[in-house]
């Protein structure tokens, strides 16, 4: 459902006192109504901004992450970003509203949108067998359930393919700075036992979306990143969303993974560069974002403005997924997580990359999207569940 701007955001008309004449001197000057409207709208935004800042400051005070950035986007197309805390714990650099953070698995939504556009173009179908596109690859027959998985199953994580193999994880620990392709990550599951027959259950894995990336690249003959830039980021003016395909990303803030994380280091950047090269992730995430643009993106995706709207009912068909980052008893749609909240159903995604945690939700009944990103993935980084912060903020921002 598309939402029109709420009547409560409209300016209140000020009536002239009874008895005043209709003379030019008594009439409002040209443009006064527009000025009044802009003033009222500015006041609404400042109140919203203050509410969100207060919630983030309280969340920051309860937690151990250095800093947080949150973006809010409304159905009336207004938006703002709020930053609290530090972008660099050691240099004491303040977090900025323009700060970029790694979005982790939230980036799957971009690869999903690319695939859905190809479906709209008639070049791909949701129930196509993946073997139709990748079956000529010599390694394909060693993928679990290789003969039966479909594009739809990649999108909703029902392929039965497991997560990365142990050999890849060991390689990342031994030599984190080496550039690896998403194909290397896919090959880490070769000859693995399927978790279940394809299409019969849910099991989340980055490999599903790395395979999806390979499918889109086979169809277009171009890199998925280039197509996402051409089809999505540029037309939608999402200038603060960039590929995570290099250790060096201008504007990326320092992240902290916790001293006991599996990679063996806390600070994830050294001399302004990521220690772990993120290139292997690809379709499994693969984007660095600003929370403001990320909130706007999720509204576009969840309302069917990033792909043919006729596909929206398919996207919103969820399979039971259990507890996900942003909701309990959640469902997995096509590239999007569907969660029940105190404010009604919400659509979005959570994300993790060493040093960073992200989440974004679109609340259609409130006409509001929220994105929250923090620069720590340490086990004790969050003083309360991120989903609770989302729902508190969404309730506050949609009050009269």
Annotate 343-398 with DSSP letters as a single string.
TEEEEEEEEEETTEEEEEEEETTTTEEEEEEESB--TT--SS-HHHHHHHHHHHHT
Percent of the chain past pLDDT 70, that is, above it, reads 90
Residue 14: pLDDT band with limits 50, 70, 90: very low
pLDDT tens per residue across span 289-322: 999 999 999 999 999 999 999 999 999 999 999 9
- First-to-final CA distance of the chain: 21
Taking residues 195-219, what's their average pLDDT?
A: 98
Residue 325: pLDDT band with limits 50, 70, 90: confident
Paired tokens of 343: 């404010």
**pTM score of the predicted model:** 0.89
Strand partners, 243: 287
Judged against a pLDDT cut of 90, whether residue 96 lies above it is answered with yes
So what's the pLDDT on residue 216? 98
Rounded Cα–Cα distance for residues 354 and 15 (Å): 57
Could you tell me which of 186, 220, 208 has the C-alpha nearest to residue 117?
220
Which helix (H) or strand (E) segment holds residue 207: the answer is helix 206-220
pLDDT tens per residue across span 179-206: 999 999 999 999 999 999 999 999 999 9
Taking residues 368-384, what's their average pLDDT?
A: 97
So what's the pLDDT on residue 50? 97
Question: Rounded to the nearest 5°, which phi and psi values hold at 54?
Answer: -60, -40
Residue 79: pLDDT band with limits 50, 70, 90: very high
So what's the pLDDT on residue 43? 82
Rounded Cα–Cα distance for residues 140 and 282 (Å): 19
pLDDT tens per residue across span 226-268: 999 999 999 999 999 999 999 999 999 999 999 888 889 999 9
The residue assigned the tokens 């706007």 is 296
DSSP 23-60: STTTSPPTTHHHHHHHHHHHHHHHHHHHHHHHHHHHHH
So what's the pLDDT on residue 23? 40
Return the SS3 of 129: strand
Residue 29: pLDDT band with limits 50, 70, 90: low
For 323, counting Cβ atoms within 10 Å of its Cβ (0-12 exposed, 13-18 middle, 19+ buried), the class is exposed
Strand order in the sheet with 101-102: 101-102, 287-289, 241-243
CATH numbers and ranges of domains, the chain: 48-397 (3.40.710.10)
């Amino acid at each position: 459902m598309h939402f029109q701007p709420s009547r409560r955001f409209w300016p209140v008309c000020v009536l002239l006192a009874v008895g005043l004449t209709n003379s030019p001197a008594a009439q409002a000057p040209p443009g006064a109504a527009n000025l009044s409207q802009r003033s009222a709208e500015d006041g609404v935004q400042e109140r919203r901004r203050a509410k969100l800042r207060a919630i983030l400051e309280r969340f920051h005070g309860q937690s151990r992450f250095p800093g947080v950035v949150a973006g809010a986007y409304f159905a009336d197309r207004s938006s703002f970003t709020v930053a609290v805390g530090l972008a660099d714990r050691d240099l004491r650099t303040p977090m900025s509203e323009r700060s970029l953070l790694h979005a982790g698995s939230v980036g799957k939504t971009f690869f999903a949108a690319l695939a859905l556009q190809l479906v709209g173009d008639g070049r791909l179908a949701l129930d196509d067998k993946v073997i139709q596109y990748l079956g000529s690859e010599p390694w394909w027959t060693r993928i679990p359930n290789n003969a039966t998985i479909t594009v739809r199953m990649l999108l909703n994580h029902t392929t039965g393919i497991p997560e990365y193999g142990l050999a890849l994880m060991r390689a990342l620990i031994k030599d984190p700075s080496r550039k690896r392709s998403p194909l290397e990550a896919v090959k880490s599951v070769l000859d693995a036992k399927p978790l279940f027959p394809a299409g019969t259950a849910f099991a989340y894995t980055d490999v599903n979306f790395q395979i999806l990336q390979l499918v889109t690249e086979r169809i277009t003959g171009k890199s998925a990143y280039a197509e996402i830039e051409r089809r999505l980021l540029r037309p939608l003016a999402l200038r603060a969303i960039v590929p995570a395909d290099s250790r060096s990303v201008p504007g990326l803030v320092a992240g902290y993974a916790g001293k006991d994380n599996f990679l063996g280091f806390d600070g994830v950047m050294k001399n302004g560069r990521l220690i772990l090269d993120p290139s292997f992730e690809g379709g499994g995430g693969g984007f660095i974002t600003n929370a403001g643009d990320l909130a706007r993106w999720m509204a576009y995706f969840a309302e069917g403005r990033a792909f043919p709207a006729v596909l929206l009912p398919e996207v919103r068909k969820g399979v039971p997924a259990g507890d996900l980052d942003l909701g309990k008893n959640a469902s997995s749609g096509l590239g999007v997580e569907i969660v029940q909240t105190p404010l009604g159903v919400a659509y979005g995604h959570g994300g993790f990359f060493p040093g960073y945690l992200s989440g974004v939700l679109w609340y259609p009944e409130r006409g509001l999207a929220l994105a929250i990103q923090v620069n720590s993935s340490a086990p004790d980084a969050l003083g309360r569940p991120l989903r609770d912060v989302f729902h508190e903020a969404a309730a506050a921002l949609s009050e009269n």
